[in-house]
Structure 1
Amino acid sequence: MPRQSESTTRNMTSGNSFKQIVLFFIPLLWGNLFQQVYSLVDSIIVGKGISDKALAAVGASGTLNFLILGFAIGMTRGFGILFAQCFGREDHAMLRAYISASKRLCIGISLVLSVVCILALRSMLKFMQTPADIIEDAYIYFVIILIGIVITVLNNLAITILQSLGDSKTPLSAMIISSLANIVMDIFLVMGLGIGVAGAAIATVLAQLFSFIYCFYKIKMIDIFDKKNYSDAEVNGKNITFELVKIGIPVAFMNSITAAGGIILQYFVNLMGSGYVAAYSACMKFASLFEQFGMSAGLSMMTFVGQNMGAGKYDRIRKGVRQGLLLATVLNIPLALLQILFPEQLARIFLSDPEIISYCKDFLPILGISLFALGWLFVYRYSVQGLGNTFVPMLSGALEVIMRLTVCFTVGRASFRGIALSEVSAWIGAFIMLMITYYVVMGLKSKA
């Protein structure tokens, strides 16, 4: 069988920068949106097909999901920075070496995380003050997710490899396949067989498996991998594993530190009762969905900046980042208006209880007003990472925790609106920090 040509990859170091960014961004956005369909379908089927409390149970595990899976997935995203830089300078031998080592790292770390976290899960849920009437469902749901963590991480590694090479179309196709499979399995397992939240978790893991199989097949068909991968730890005098860990672990910790801030908010919401937990879960579903537009713009910049960093084209990086900021701003205008003007209508998609829906009317408009800062945060964060600096973005995650904790203890305990203010304060603080960092780093690159 003839191998696939390199036409699916995209070298972003030449040509019209805005066109390159947009062409990469569009499939990436659709892919991320389809990924969100996993969560949205779970929520609609669980909330409408079982109960609002079942939805609260799935939502209560969401921050732990981000904390644990976010660590491993963040690590793969960090690896992608090195992949993109190698591709930008056309060092395909080193690229193959990095990918070979990254597969071993992902499998090993995923297995350790799975075992340790399953053993500690019930204690973590109790520590978060998960309400007694939803803790068992939350435990069952997340245990199944943890069992499948290796599949999830390998799927994200495969997607990262493709995106680092400028291919955002294949991940989109994978997301479409897995999303459709997830919908069918959700309906069959939850509504058909009636096995509750366990069915939603099983459907999510299997959907990740389908995505991984498809992406892995496509990677094997790319011409630059038509050679035996390096298995040695040392290539051209570099310790491949150390290089990967050095750039990947800060991104992993950044995700987990950011998730810790989410756990702080979840803790305070849990103290309010299961009704507020359900409202918070619904609101954060929309937050996760709407942030995909700014996040996709940011991820586009990580690939764009990473490739051009490898090629040493700093003026092109500056121009591209300005265009990325403009893209994120324009995209967020209609999304912000939806949350500000139609919070009740949005809440009714997931929820049935009028009182719980009323809580969302205090929460969503605040997120909408601050959505622009979140988009700019993503563009600067991923641009700085693309430059090879993953330490400061990790510190920005710590700043997010500090901001959430500070606002929670001052106004977050008083009302559900205070919880929303705690969330957006973290966005604004991290955005300012990363914006300053980007211009400082680029200034130093110019002088080098």
Structure 2
Amino acid sequence: MKVKNSITEGPLVSALFIYFIPIFFGSLIQQSYSFADALIIGRYAGISSLAAIDATYGYVKLLINVFITLSLGGTVLISQYYGAKKFKEVDDTVHTLMLFAIIGGFIISGVGYICSPYFVSLMNVPEDIYEFATSYLSIYLLGTMFVFVLNIGSGILRAVGDTKFPFYLLLISSIMNIFLDLLFIIGFGWGIQGAAYSTIFAQGFSSIMILLRLSSGKSPVQLSLKGLGIKMTILLPMLKLGIPLGIQSALYSISNIYMQRGINSFGTTSIAAWAINGKLDFIIWLIIDTIGITTTTFVAQNYGANQSKRMKSSTRLSMFMGITMVGLLSIGIYYSVEYLSSMFTADNHVIDLSVQMFRMISPFYVIFIISEVLSGAIKGIGDTFKPMVLTLIGTCGFRIIWIVYILPKSSTVMMAILGYPVSWIISTVMFSILYFFTSRGLANFEVESTS
């Protein structure tokens, strides 16, 4: 009996929404405990603790996101193999990718824990929050392996079209994280350390559950302990795709580290205001990230199935969905940002600065969604090198230039933050040009068949 794959067959609009919605709400639930952390910490542990978490977040993103994006080469392969019905290759890729995640998790946990004080020093963290930042970062990074297994395991399921289980798991995990926040921070009085421990416990639970799902026989892939191994025939093409993605993520994270250092130099109030902005716009970034994942998966599977027209239609529809949702949400937060900021703190200086920050950058979110969709489409056909180069130029290079050369000429925190939307505009222009030339070659493309 033939099983219909809605990503490569049937109505496209409904397939995109059915795929998008569980991932988005799953990510929304996953990020809700970050939002809850900020609310609880800001109200019960103080604005210094809230600033301490955000002051070093760039290094967390660098260590974790680089490895996860490196592994995305494997999920792109899984999508392509699954779309082409090459199930043996799917199985080999799953086992190679999961062992890669476990090994990488142990390595990053050790490096992150040992180097945490060094990372904090490099970030120009003010002395009044130095100890808070070091304590949180060292504890949080100990749970890196759980983060890797959870995210890569969820990526494997999504690559073959299973978005429901990751959604339900994230719902349970997030409720657990919020409960532990209340227990550790308010009940036990552990402060910022309690926030770190609650995240580790919730991620640990989720990683165990994702492994059980993959090994239960209830998903389109079957993970087994005996089958775990690194197969070079899988690892090499995975790294060929993943290394440019990892470098791109590293460049993006490094540029954000430079930007955060610039913000940190203006003191705890500026750090706290920017941290609040990061909590207010997280839904916008979830939409952007989910649209990118959706675009890459649909393009990759249809590339594997030789469906060039459906690839282009998926990209156009993803673009329309993303611009519409991000635009409407940006407007809503723009007019309610003062009230929302007051949920995190009663400090009027922090609230006022947070309002100024958000209202300056909010009109530009719709610009960034364009580059994310086009980048996702290009990655879906297996070209990860050119997006890496564009990220190097438009994001990393420009932001470093902005902080090192432009910011000193007008040394204000608002000038530091202006570097973000300017870099989005530059990146979007470059990705638009790249996609134009890439799409011209898709009309008559053929995927090499081994049958």
Specify if TM > 0.5: yes
Q: Residue type matched to 1:371 in 2? A: Y
- The equivalent of 1:77 in structure 2 is 72
SS at 2:204 equivalent: helix
Alpha-carbon spacing, 1:262–1:227, altered in 2? closer, same or farther (3 Å) = closer
Is the counterpart of residue 335 in structure 1 residue 329 in structure 2?
A: yes
Q: Report Cα offsets for 1:180-213 as digits up to 9, x if no partner.
A: 0000000001110011111101111111122222
Distance 1:216 1:437 in 2: 38
Conservation of the 8 A alpha-carbon contact between 2:83 and 2:302: yes
Q: Does the alignment pair 1:120 with 2:146? A: no
Instruction: Give, in whole Å, the separation in 1 of the partners of 2:441 and 2:74.
Output: 24
2:318 matches 1:324: yes
Q: How far is 1:104 from its partner?
A: 1.8
Instruction: Give the whole-Å Cα distance in 1 for the aligned partners of 2:5 and 2:186.
Output: 42
| Residue 177 of structure 1, CA deviation | 0.6
Q: Deviations over 1:82-131 (max 9, x none)?
A: 11111101111000101111122112222222222322221221111111
Residue 367 (structure 1) aligned with residue 361 (structure 2) = yes
SS in 1 for 2:128: coil
Q: Structure 2 counterpart of 1:63, which letter?
A: G
TM-score (norm 2): 0.92
Structure 2 partner of 1:286: 280
- The alpha carbon displacement at 1:414 in A equals 2.4
Q: 1:298 Cα shift?
A: 1.6
Find the partner of 1:421 among 408, 418, 422: 418
The corresponding residue for 2:378 is 384
Cα offset for 1:301? 0.9
User: Map of 1:384-403 to 2, 5 A cutoff?
Assistant: 384-398=378-392, 399-403=394-398
Q: Which stretch has the larger CA shift, 332-341 or 290-299? A: 332-341
Selected match of 2:164 from 142, 161, 169: 169
Shift of 1:269: 1.0
1:63, distance to aligned residue in structure 2 (A): 1.1
Deviates more, 1:349-358 or 1:177-186: 349-358
1:262 aligns with 2:259: no
| 1:236-273 alpha-carbon deviations (Å, 9 max, x no partner) | xx721111222122222222211111111111111111
Question: Match of 2:373, SS?
Answer: helix
Pick from 162, 173, 188: which aligns with 1:178? 173
- What's 1:438 paired with? 435
Q: CA deviation at 1:335?
A: 1.5
Q: Give 2:449's aligned residue.
A: none
Amino acid at match of 1:71: V
Indicate the residue corresponding to 2:296 in structure 1: 302
**1:66-90 deviation digits (Å, cap 9, x = unpaired):** 1111112212333211111111011
User: Hey, what does 2:95 align to over in structure 1?
Assistant: 100
> C-alpha offsets along residues 348-385 of structure 1, whole Å, 9 cap, x if unaligned?
12222101111112210122100101222221121111
**Alignment RMSD:** 2.1
Cα contact 1:407–1:421 (8 A) shared by 2: no
- 1:410 partnered with 2:406: yes
SS in 2 for 1:342: helix
Structure 1 residues 203 and 447: CA distance shift in structure 2, 3 A: same
The code of the aligned residue for 2:55 comes to A
Pick from 185, 190, 197: which aligns with 2:185?
190
Separation (CA, whole Å) in 2 of partners of 1:109 and 1:391: 22
**Distance of 2:434 and 2:391 partners within structure 1:** 14
The more displaced of 313-322 and 284-293 is: 284-293
Larger displacement relative to structure 2 (178-187 or 136-145) = 136-145
Structure 1 residue ranges without an equivalent (≥5): none
| Alignment match of 1:27 (pick from 22, 29, 39) | 22
Aligned to 1:211: 206
Change (3 A) 1:314 1:230: farther
- Residues 371 and 431, structure 2, Cα contact 8 Å, conserved in 1: yes
**Which of 239, 249, 261 is 2:243 aligned to?**
249
Q: Give the secondary structure class of the aligned counterpart of 1:272.
A: coil
Letter of the structure 1 residue corresponding to residue 19 of structure 2: F
CA shift for structure 1 position 280: 1.1
Q: Which residue of 1 aligns with 2:266?
A: 272
Give the stretch that moved more between structures: 212-221 or 271-280.
Answer: 212-221
Q: Distance in 1 between matches of 2:242 and 2:436?
A: 22
Q: Are 1:86 and 1:310, in contact at CA under 8 Å, matched by a contact in 2? A: yes
Q: What's the TM-score once normalised by structure 1's chain length?
A: 0.93
With 173-182 and 343-352 compared, the bigger mean Cα shift is at 343-352
* Consecutive unaligned residues in structure 2, runs of 5 or more: 446-451
Partner of residue 66, structure 1: 61
Amino acid paired to 1:303: T
Matched AA of 1:320:
S
**How far apart, CA to CA, are the structure 1 residues paired with 2:102 and 2:140?**
16
